Every structure is written in C-alpha cells, then in structure tokens.
Amino acid sequence: AQKITQTQPGMFVQEKEAVTLDCTYDTSDQSYGLFWYKQPSSGEMIFLIYQGSYDEQNATEGRYSLNFQKARKSANLVISASQLGDSAMYFCAMRRLIQGAQKLVFGQGTRLTINP
Amino acid sequence: DTGVSQNPRHKITKRGQNVTFRCDPISEHNRLYWYRQTLGQGPEFLTYFQNEAQLEKSRLLSDRFSAERPKGSFSTLEIQRTEQGDSAMYLCASSLSPAVSSYEQYFGPGTRLTVT
C-alpha cells in the first residue's frame, strides 16, 4: 500500500537556521512524484516543491530543496535560512496516477515553529 | 484569476441536516479534487473529476456523500444526514492535465464543517 510517514510531529528552530523535515514513503509504483505543501493556520495548502521519481537531480525552489534518496525511499525537505513566516504545518505527499488523476496521499504532517 | 475558491468558509450544522459546499476551480483547470482533513491529520482523498466526469471515488465517500461537477466548471459536495464524524475541513483542489503542466494541485482555502 502507498504510505507517507512523517516521524516529527513538531520541530522548533531558531530564526535564520536551516531545518530538515523528514519524509519516508512506501510504494510499489515505478513512476511516482513527491510533493511538499505548507499549511499555515489559515488552512490553505500552499505548494512548495515537487520531485519526480525519475528526476536525477534534487529539486530546488528558492529557499526550499528536496533531498531525494530513492534507494532509501526518503524525500526530506530542507529549508535554508528559516524565517518567522515559515512557522506552519508541513505535509509530504505522494502522487499516484489513477485513470489519469493525480491522487495525492499525504503524511500526518510536521508542525514547524520558528523562534526569534 | 484569483485561484481556487470555496464557499462557505465555515458551516455549523446540527446532526441529521444536509449541507452543500461549493468549489470554483481555476478557470482553465479541467481536473478537480475533493479532500477531507480532520484535526491533526493530513488531507485524505475523496473524489476526482476530469471535466464533468467523476472518475474516482474513495471508499471514505459513503452513500451519504455526493459530488457533482455539472458543466465541468464548479463542483458541489453534498453531505446528507450529517453525523458528528463528518466534522472536518473539506478541501478542493484543481489542476491542469499532467501532459501540459507540472503535477501541481492548487488548493482552495477549505470549508470547515462542524456538526453539533
């Protein structure tokens, strides 16, 4: 069965430090994709970064990078130079293709708190 | 284009009543998804539309739930005879075809349902 595991319920980091949020996944699919979304207290899911299973290079988007280790089935999110506005819930998700649809399977999330 | 919108943002209802939520996707997106998110959990997939066709339904979607997308634009999600266990955030997302865009799903702000 397809599953996403996020083992860190909460993380506390000092402003300007880098932080790594862990994500491991389980799938029997050959082709899949991995996402990270941010959910502030307002509730909206904000897309951060995407990594395809066949992408050879780790994805980067500004301060966000995805440390993709396919053999270990891990897709950790690295946020460099953290800011107070980074405080939010962070969800790792895996894309499954079903009849052309990209169904997302989410982990339980990590609550990140940035301290000044 | 202002993104995915959902109405209402909050709904409080008594057990046994029917409720209906609306989602307006980004105008050129032909794919629409509904997810449910309970407190402290990641979103869970409910159903998916490609244009007006409902192509995938989760077993979470009991027979009290029905979703429509009559003209391939906005979608409605109706819950009949609500139960307290239906209390959750209902999220809508939309996307373009993976063949012409990235795999990103754009989420709306959600409708928070409270059943008393």
Q: How close B70 comes to chain A (CA, Å)?
A: 18
Q: Which residues contact A111 (CB under 8 A, 6 or more apart)?
A: A9, A10, A11, A88, A89, A90
CA distance A33 to A45: 17
In chain B, the residue whose alpha carbon lies closest to the alpha carbon of A45 is: B107
**Residues of chain A whose pLDDT is less than 70?**
99-101
- Cβ atoms B90, B8 nearer than 8 A: no
Pairing state of beta strands B111-115 and B10-13? parallel
Instruction: Please give the pLDDT value at position A2.
Output: 84
Q: What is the largest CA-CA distance in chain B?
A: 44
Name the residue with higher pLDDT: B53 or B115.
Answer: B115
Residue among B42, B48, B102 whose CB faces A101 most closely? B48
Instruction: Please give the pLDDT value at position A100.
Output: 66
The verdict on A37 touching B (C-beta cutoff 8 Å) is yes
Measuring CA to CA, how many Å separate A28 from each of A34, A53, A99, B9, B70? Answer: 14, 12, 17, 37, 35
A72-105 per-position pLDDT tens digit: 999 999 999 999 999 999 999 998 877 666 789 9
Q: Which residues make beta-bridge pairs with A21?
A: A77
The verdict on B107 touching A (C-beta cutoff 8 Å) is yes
Instruction: Give A106's contacts in chain B (Cβ within 8 Å).
Output: 42-44
Instruction: Please give the pLDDT value at position B1.
Output: 54
Interface of A with B in 57-86 (CB under 8 A): none
B102 pLDDT band, cuts 50/70/90, is low
Q: Which residues contact A55 (CB under 8 A, 6 or more apart)?
A: A68
Show the tokens assigned to A109. 């999330």
Show the tokens assigned to A83. 């800011």
Closest residue by Cα to residue A38 from A93, A75, A80? A93
Instruction: Give A98's contacts in chain B (Cβ within 8 Å).
Output: 48, 55-56
B34-70 per-position pLDDT tens digit: 999 999 899 999 999 989 999 888 888 889 999 999 9
